[in-house]
Amino acid sequence: MPPDNLIDGRAIAQEVHAETESRVAALKSAGVEPGLRFVRVGDDPASEVYVGMKERSAAKLGIRSETTVLPVETLQAELLELLEKLNADDGIHGVLVQAPLPRHIDEAKVFSTVSPAKDVDGFHPVNAGKLIIGEGGGFVPCTPGGVHELLIRSGVTIEGAEVVILGRGNIVGKPMAAILCQKAEHANATVTLCHSRSRDIAAHCRRADIVVAAMGVAKFVKADMVKPGATVIDVGVNRIDDPAAGNGYRLIGDVDFAVVQPIAGRITPNPGGVGPMTIAMLMRNTVRAAEQQTGAVSR
């Protein structure tokens, strides 16, 4: 039997998927088939794996998805032209451009070209702005949105909690802080955002009721950095060499799980914690995009 302080991201993701599947059925009964288009540029192996996982999840839920793969030498102008066509296609409700992109392409320009109404990744400046000011109707980035859902469904108290987020990236750290500090239900936390220039990160972590590790540093969070009983969410994905593994490497998180798990009140495993929730939130965002664009179902 698994330790009783584990937050089972796979099980909670299945709960979200079940709700999403019900909404897909309601859309289809109204004559709307949710459509999601993935765009990959180049042949990055990890990107191919990630998009494949998302495609399979979409298929299980009844969401129609397709992937456009462009050669690595594709010009930025060509990619932007494709995105404008997808924006104008009423049969496509969500558009996701898989990062990373080749160096000659400006990711910020690409993400801001996707229509905010179809930006199911939540990276468009309009959606980022809506999140910051607490305006509904936009799309929240999938990983921080998934972390928030994990906390809520695990019964973790967020209201008034001291939260320390490790990492200030635009994909996880900053939107995570914006979600948790809102004057709203399941928020109202006091948030500290730490980064590579922060002084005495360990001291910040030791006073936290909730630690969200998203720095991209393998096993960064040690036992002496965690207050007994704190909730620890590990977002990190780090590749380390492992001759015993079939492919010569394995993926581990930002938390030294073996030593932190006995101290934490609640903790996510890695894998099996945040990852499944990221896909679940993408699917939920896609269905909501279809609902909003068609008006077929009021949400």
Q: Name 211's bridge partners.
A: 164, 232
Q: How far is CA 193 from CA 167, 185, 216, in A?
A: 7, 21, 15
Mean residue pLDDT of the chain comes to: 95
What pLDDT is recorded for position 244? 80
CA–CA dist 155, 12 (Å, integer): 12
Specify the DSSP class assigned to residue 62.
Answer: T
Per the CATH hierarchy, to which homologous superfamily does domain 142-275 belong?
NAD(P)-binding Rossmann-like Domain (3.40.50.720)
Q: Are 23 and 79 in contact (CB under 8 A)?
A: no
100 preceded by a cis bond (ω within 30 of 0): yes
What pLDDT is recorded for position 179? 98
Task: Let me know if 174 is a catalytic residue.
Answer: no
pLDDT in tens, 96-149: 999 999 999 999 999 999 999 999 999 999 999 999 999 989 999 999 999 999
Task: Let me know if 54 is a catalytic residue.
Answer: yes
User: Is pLDDT larger for residue 295 or for residue 9?
Assistant: 9
Residue 85 tokens read as 């066509």
Q: Name 26's bridge partners.
A: none
Residue 136 tokens read as 């509904």
Tally the C-alpha atoms within 13 A of residue 136's C-alpha that lie toward its C-beta. Answer: 6
Residue 204 tokens read as 């910040």
Q: Which CATH number fits domain 30-116: 3.40.50.10860, 3.40.50.1820, 1.20.140.10, 3.40.50.300?
A: 3.40.50.10860
Phi, psi of 28, rounded to the nearest 5 degrees: -65, -35
In this model, does residue 163 exceed pLDDT 90? yes
Residue 125 tokens read as 């400046």
Task: Let me know if 14 is a catalytic residue.
Answer: no
pLDDT in tens, 185-216: 999 999 999 999 999 999 999 999 999 999 99
Catalytic residue, chosen from 119, 121, 254, 256, is 121
Mean per-residue pLDDT, 152-157: 98
pLDDT in tens, 249-265: 888 999 999 999 999 99
What pLDDT is recorded for position 1? 39
CA-wise closest residue to 39 among 81, 4, 75, 82: 82
So where are the chain's domains? 30-116, 142-275
- SS3 for 100-160 is CCCCCCCHHHHHHHCCCCCCCCCCCHHHHHHHHHCCCCCCCCHHHHHHHHHHHHCCCCCCC
Residues 6+ apart with CB under 8 A from 243: none
Model confidence pTM above 0.75: yes
Specify the DSSP class assigned to residue 221.
Answer: B
Catalytic residue, chosen from 98, 209, 254, 293, is 98
Q: Are 95 and 34 in contact (CB under 8 A)?
A: no
Do 30-116 and 142-275 have matching folds? yes
Give the H or E element holding residue 178: helix 173-181
Query: With pLDDT > 90 as the criterion, what percentage of the chain qualifies?
Result: 90
